[in-house]
Amino acid sequence: MNHTEHTAEGQAGAADRPLAGYVVVDLSRALAGPHAGMMLGDLGARVIKVEAPGHGDDSRGWGPPFAGSADTQVSTYFMSCNRNKESVTADLKSAEGQQFLTRLIRQADVLVENFRTGVLDRFGFSVEQLHEINPGLVILSITGFGHDGPAAGRAGYDQIAQGEAGLMSITGEPGAPMKVGVPIADLLAGMYGANGVLAALLERERTGRGRVVRTSLLASVVGVHAFQGTRWTVAGEVPQGSGNHHAAIVPYGLFNAADGALQVAVGSEVQWRAFAGVVGIDPADPRYATNALRVQHRHELIEEIERVFATASTDHWLTLLDKAGIASGKVRSLDEVYEWDQTRSQGLLIDVEHPVLGRAQLPGPPLRFDGELPRGHAAPPLLGEHNESVRQWLDELDSADPS
């Protein structure tokens, strides 16, 4: 396929991005698949989101908050995971909808779907059928608990997966499971999925054939267990929540000062000696001389540190810690994050022109290439906004290649 032919509508800078010319058909809804599709769109791919007529992606109805008027409510949830996409509607249960999807698949490089296992097969789009239509198609399939195994048929929702995959058991205070404040299982599945797609596209350059990339909410969370996972698999220790303090490094966490909270991360013995000097603790105290001892005596040490921090403001301590070379920081609310000049300097707040809301600001993509700030992003689309333009594009391709 000539990847210079297919440009992303509404993305002025898409032609300069790594995936310029690639076409992604996004059949997914909610968050995991849409997040993967948005990542590919941020990288310059043309992402065509196929939605059910009438209501579209489930997340279009998730709120409040909604933006716009009562007659034109726009879900802020939907806007969080659907920038840089085009929206078309098609009933995949109908012959017409299936024919339309077949035409899209012929032109696509990637298909993203998060149906339950077997649903696409019933529509006539099994993996074998998809590769008959387009042998080079890379298929990203995201499920809740995996496409096979005893729990393959279960519906996958983020909080259920956070619990089932153990994340809630190590988040929050001991004995008080707590979910993460964003749908992290969905987001991780989307990130892993997009990463797998990129690898499959690179492989296709050698083989000419597309591959099926599979991940799940369960797999995505287990994939980031990190040292908590090896605490069990290697040491036989079942981790529990450790609140706002690191389970294996002390001091490393949230502390209270006279006027609020601050965070400190002491990651080495050199840093420990510098930190101890700031707070007036003997670094060679036999209870605290090594990290292993500090973990053992964590509660005593945290109490000592907080007694010291309570004598002055957060800004006072952050200034001293910075001078001593100790990683530290504030706990910002989200409005403070988006107002922070450092956030804005990294291109993490972007302007888009929305067909209903007008100028709107969205969180921006986290990647930069050659130091360039992101530009030319398209607003999340209205339902069916690109029905005419996408079908016209397909007609033009069919006319140019009648075969």
Which of helix, strand or coil describes residue 166? coil
Closest CA to 209 of 200, 217, 220: 200
Rounded distance, CA 103 to CA 122, Å? Answer: 18
Q: What is the dihedral of CA 5, 8, 11, 16, to 10 degrees?
A: -40
Q: Burial-class residue 83 by CB neighbours within 10 Å (0-12, 13-18, 19+).
A: buried
In this structure, what DSSP letter does residue 245 have? B
Cβ(374)–Cβ(347) under 8 Å? yes
Rounded distance, CA 287 to CA 373, Å? Answer: 48
Position 311, amino acid: T
- Looking up tokens 């100028």 gives 359
Which H/E stretch holds residue 96? Answer: helix 95-107
Q: Burial-class residue 369 by CB neighbours within 10 Å (0-12, 13-18, 19+).
A: exposed
Cβ(217)–Cβ(145) under 8 Å? yes
Sequence-ordered list of residues with C-beta below 8 angstroms from that of 11, at least 6 positions apart, any chain: 41, 44, 84, 376, 377, 378
Tokens of 95: 């012959």
Sequence-ordered list of residues with C-beta below 8 angstroms from that of 168, at least 6 positions apart, any chain: 162, 177, 178, 179
- Looking up tokens 């933006």 gives 67
Beta sheet of 252-257, edge-to-edge order: 252-257, 260-265, 327-330
Which residue numbers are catalytic? 186
Q: Which residues, listed in sequence order, are joined to residue 380 by a DSSP beta bridge?
A: none
Share in percent of the chain as helix, strand, coil (round to 5): 40, 15, 45
Rounded distance, CA 340 to CA 337, Å? Answer: 5
